[in-house]
Structures are given as C-alpha cells and as structure tokens.
Chains A and B, each alone.
Chain A
Amino acid sequence: MNNEQFNDRNVSNDYFLVDIEDYPTDGWGKFKRVIKRSFRGELFVGLWVVLREMIRFDIHTVKYPEEKMPIGPRYRAVHEMKRLWESDTERCIGCGLCEKICISNCIRIDTKIDENSRKEVSEYSINLGRCIFCGYCAEVCPELAITHGGEYENASDQREHFVMYEDMLTPLDKMKAATQLEFEGFGAITPHEDERVKKTPLAY
C-alpha cells in the first residue's frame, strides 16, 4: 500500500509553486527588474483591487454598540441559575457538586434544611475574579441549574466582583413571560454553522 491517497489533500489542482527568479546582482539586472516591474502593471493591479472593493462597498464593519455578532450557545460567560418551567422554583438542589468540581475554588455554597425538611441553598456566590470560566460547574450540574449565559458586557469597580445567587437566578417576571433561555448543551452548534462548515480537505 502506498501513501498516495493520504498525501492527496483533495483540495484543488490550482495550487502551483511560485516561480521565483534569482535576485539580480549587477546594476543592469536591477535596472531591468525596475523597468519590468514598472511596466508590467503590477502597481495598477493593486490600484484596481482597492478601487474594486470601494465600488463593491461590501463593508464588514460591525457597529458594535448598536450591532452585535451572534454568539454561540457554547459561549461561556457569566453564570446563570435557571428555574423549573413547571413551578418556577429554583432548580438548584444544593448538592454542592459545582463547589467540589470548581478547579479555581471560586464557588462557595452553603445549604440548610428548611421547615419542610428539604435542602435549601442559603448562600451561593461565585468569585468572578477567580473564575476561569471553564464550564465544569455547568457540566457537572445534575439539574441543569447552573449554566453559562451569553452576557459578556460586564463592568465593576474591581476585578474580584462576586455574583450572588439572586443575581444569577432567572427573575420571576421572566418566568411568567416564559422567556427563560434554555442552555442548549455542550454539543450545541453555533447558529448558521451549517452554512459556514467546510469539507475537511483530507482524504481520511
């Protein structure tokens, strides 16, 4: 068996090696090169390319504060705490797995037994100054309670800003309006990804 099919990148046959001439050493050779470059019209090719782009007016600017690029569902920004669709109560059962798995020790959870002898989260905070946004907490959560949201515009007067449980929890009015965004999962693909996907240029 030969390696031919593995070496064949299956891309296109348009690739070719550029023929690079030897660098001229004497003055006459340099002069000839200047003449050749001056009259071959390379300069005008450059002029035409930029003028064509100007005429085409295919502007790629995203006017950022007004326009925003869509971000994928796998984006890991500041955490969110989801509620149950049925009862609007918190999904978090206080198991503490996120605190255990957190590799930068930024999650602090405290629980107590409430009057119905159910476990209740009494305190929950994430130190965003330490958080590396690895996503382990969301991955380990058995109830899909803690997830990463898409909010990437944050400002605070210090880096070590904490988010408390109440800040992350989906507000009740959002639940009433049924607009809580569900986390699509770690395998979810970015919207419109089907159009952008390209065939892998390999035979295997």
Chain B
Amino acid sequence: METAYLIETVIKIVVILLIFSALAGIGTYFERKVLAFMQRRLGPMNVGPFGLLQVAADGIKLFTKEDIVPSGVVARIFKIAPVITAATAFMAAAAIPFLPSFTLFGYEVHPIVADINIGILYILGIMGVGLYGPLLGGMASANKFALISAARGAAVFISYEVVTGLSILAPIMMVGSLSLIDFNEYQISNGWIVFAQPVAFILFWIAAFAETGRTPFHLIANDHEIIDGFGTEYSGMRWGLFAIGEYANMFFISFVISLLFLGGYGDGSLLGALALLGKVAFFFFFFLWTRAAWPDVRPDQLMWLCWKVLMPIAVINIVITGIVMM
C-alpha cells in the first residue's frame, strides 16, 4: 500500500467525519425550523441570528452535561451502545461516493473512501449492524421503556431489512454490479433507474424511513408511547452520539437513494454534483416533511405492512424484472 494512498484515505475519512458530524448538528436545526414553520411557529430564534447558533448551544450542553451511568444497568454494554450507532453510521459512509471525482491542486480526488465492489451490500450490512446500538442500549438500560424499544427495534429491523434487500435486488440485476459508482455510470447511459424501477424506488424509500426510524415508522423511540425508548436512560454526549448517528444515517440514506435511483451525480460535471446535493437535500427535507404531516403506525402495522404487503410486491417486482431481462 502506498503512503500517498494511505494519507489520502485518512484525510478523506477525517473530512467526511467532520462534515457529517457538523451536518448532523445542523440537521437538528433544520428539523426544528422546518417543523416549526409547518406548524406556524418560529422555532429557535434567540441564540444567534435566526437561532443559527442553537446548534452550538446544544453541543456545549451535550458535551458538558454529566455523564450518568445509572445503577442497575449493564455498564459496559450501556456505554458501548451509542458508539455502535454513531460508528456504524459513519462506517457505512465509506462506500458512498459523495461527489464526482474532481481535481484539486493537480491531484485527482475521488470523494469515496473505498470503492469496493460490494458497495451496496456493505452499506446495508453496516447499517444493519447499527441496529445493535438501540438493541443493546435498550436491553442494558434496566428500564422497561428502553426494553420495549429494544424489542421493537429487533422486530421492526427484521421486517424492513427484508424489504430493503429485496427492493434493490431488481436494480442490481439491471446494473449487474454492487458498486455505487457503477450504478452512477449505468444511469448516465441508460437513464435514471427510477423510471425503469419505480416500484423498487418506492419500496426502498419506504424502507429507508424504517431504517432511519423516522416518523411514519418512528416506533423504536416513540416519544408519546415509550418516552425516548432506548435513549431514556442516556444523558450528555452518549445520548448525543445516538442523535448524531440518527441524523448522519438520514444523510447517508438520502445519498444512497439518490445514487441508486435518481442518477447520482450524473456525468460528473459541477452541475451533476450540485444536482446530487439537491436530491439529497430533497430527501432530507422529505424526512422532516413527513414528520410534520403523518402519524406514526403501530409496530404490528409496520410488520404487517413489511411482511404481507411490501415483501410480496418486492418479490413480484424481482420476478417481473427477471422475465423482462430474459
């Protein structure tokens, strides 16, 4: 392994880590603002202009808050659980090309940490490992609400992960590769996959809501039923890591949807890069939008939906795709 490659990779990792940790914080600001505007409120207004420094205030609060490990918890697992959530969220980002490759000071930069040939499989697998954060945190918390949340997390996870996997199987059959860059190249010549696979797109989008635990399927940490679920016993930066992981996941899954179905960054021009960011912004906004508009479903409804409706549709979609491709 060359030294230059190693240095480049480390720099890329640090940059992605910093940008998306900051974006996770700014994401909470946008969430508050968008929800507030949709509910005819103003949202944060007092810290800084238009409340922009609210993120910094929250950060200071989370960092300086006492780190409480309650008695009765399984301390070691309790402490490691939020790290799993945040770490897996960022690890999944390794196979995502965030921008087309560009030249910086005469050096060609590929804004992807590792273009591995099993990209999507890796992303979905690592995001699946992310389940262990809520699951272990909830089970170790010695709190009934956290335990319910952990049980829901496990049940819901199995349901949506089936839909996620099956729904992207059809696009993968069309492209013939698991690398997101190959997906992007395929869509330059053959048009966006969303037009060829609208059903798979909708299914993956629905599953993304379950994957990130956003509102229609926000039942792992449903405030009005089980307080904060697995996060109930957490305080300070441990809770903050859960939040960072959740919001980073929202950004990453938005990138994945845009790259898989909506043409990604296109031909790699500046316009294509901006278009990718625009698509990601739309999907992130949609996560917030649905939170203002839609009610939550019950866990049994989600499992019913995933197993009895979405999974058969996904299987039928795969079969039809196969027949058409033959």
B294 A54 Cβ-Cβ under 8 A: no
B40 A43 Cβ-Cβ under 8 A: no
Highest count of chain A CB atoms <10 Å: which of B42, B293, B305 = B293
B293 A47 Cβ-Cβ under 8 A: yes
Q: How far apart sit A59 and B45, CA to CA, in the bound complex (Å)?
A: 13
Q: How far apart sit A51 and B309, CA to CA, in the bound complex (Å)?
A: 29
B39 in the interface (beta carbon within 8 A): yes
Q: A129-161 vs B: 1/0 string, CB under 8 Å?
A: 000000000000000000000000000000000
Whole-angstrom distance between the Cβ of B292 and the nearest chain A Cβ: 4
B41 in the interface (beta carbon within 8 A): yes
Other-chain contact of A59, B40, B290, B294 (Cβ < 8 Å):
B40
Q: How far apart sit A31 and B290, CA to CA, in the bound complex (Å)?
A: 23
Q: How far apart sit A63 and B37, CA to CA, in the bound complex (Å)?
A: 15
A43 B42 Cβ-Cβ under 8 A: no
Contacts of B293 in A (CB 8 A): 43, 46-47, 49-50
Contacts of A60 in B (CB 8 A): 40-41
Within 8 A of A (CB), among B40-88: 40-42, 45
B289 in the interface (beta carbon within 8 A): yes
Whole-angstrom distance between the Cβ of B259 and the nearest chain A Cβ: 24
Highest count of chain B CB atoms <10 Å: which of A43, A54, A58 = A54
- With CB as the reference atom, state the residue of chain A lying closest to B37: A54
Whole-angstrom distance between the Cβ of B315 and the nearest chain A Cβ: 16
Whole-angstrom distance between the Cβ of A97 and the nearest chain B Cβ: 47
B38 A43 Cβ-Cβ under 8 A: no
Tell me if A's interface is mostly helix, strand, loop or mixed. Answer: helix
B290 A54 Cβ-Cβ under 8 A: no
Q: B291-305 vs A: 1/0 string, CB under 8 Å?
A: 011100000000001
Other-chain contact of A46, B37, B42, B294 (Cβ < 8 Å):
B294
Interface size class of B (residues with CB under 8 A): 10 to 19
Q: How far apart sit A76 and B38, CA to CA, in the bound complex (Å)?
A: 36
A50 B41 Cβ-Cβ under 8 A: no
B34 in the interface (beta carbon within 8 A): yes
Within 8 A of B (CB), among A154-192: none
B40 A34 Cβ-Cβ under 8 A: no
Q: How far apart sit A54 and B39, CA to CA, in the bound complex (Å)?
A: 8
Within 8 A of A (CB), among B255-314: 289-290, 292-294, 305, 308-309
Q: B27-39 vs A: 1/0 string, CB under 8 Å?
A: 0000000100111
Q: A21-58 vs B: 1/0 string, CB under 8 Å?
A: 00000000001001000000001001101110110011
Other-chain contact of B289, A34, A47, A57, A58 (Cβ < 8 Å):
A47
B41 A53 Cβ-Cβ under 8 A: no
Contacts of A49 in B (CB 8 A): 293
Whole-angstrom distance between the Cβ of A27 and the nearest chain B Cβ: 8
B38 A54 Cβ-Cβ under 8 A: yes
Contacts of A61 in B (CB 8 A): 40-42
Q: How far apart sit A123 and B38, CA to CA, in the bound complex (Å)?
A: 56
- With CB as the reference atom, state the residue of chain B lying closest to A44: B293
Q: How far apart sit A43 and B42, CA to CA, in the bound complex (Å)?
A: 25
Q: How far apart sit A31 and B301, CA to CA, in the bound complex (Å)?
A: 12
Highest count of chain B CB atoms <10 Å: which of A43, A58, A59 = A59
B45 A63 Cβ-Cβ under 8 A: yes
Whole-angstrom distance between the Cβ of A39 and the nearest chain B Cβ: 12
**Can you list 8 A-B contacts with CB-CB less than 8 angstroms, sorted by A residue number?**
A43-B293, A53-B38, A53-B40, A54-B34, A54-B37, A60-B40, A63-B42, A63-B45
11 other contacts beyond A50-B292, A50-B293, A63-B45, with CB at 8 A cut-off? Answer: A34-B309, A43-B293, A47-B293, A50-B38, A50-B289, A54-B34, A54-B37, A59-B37, A59-B42, A60-B41, A61-B40
- The 7 A-B residue pairs whose C-beta atoms are closest, nearest first, are A46-B293, A50-B38, A61-B42, A50-B292, A54-B37, A50-B293, A47-B293
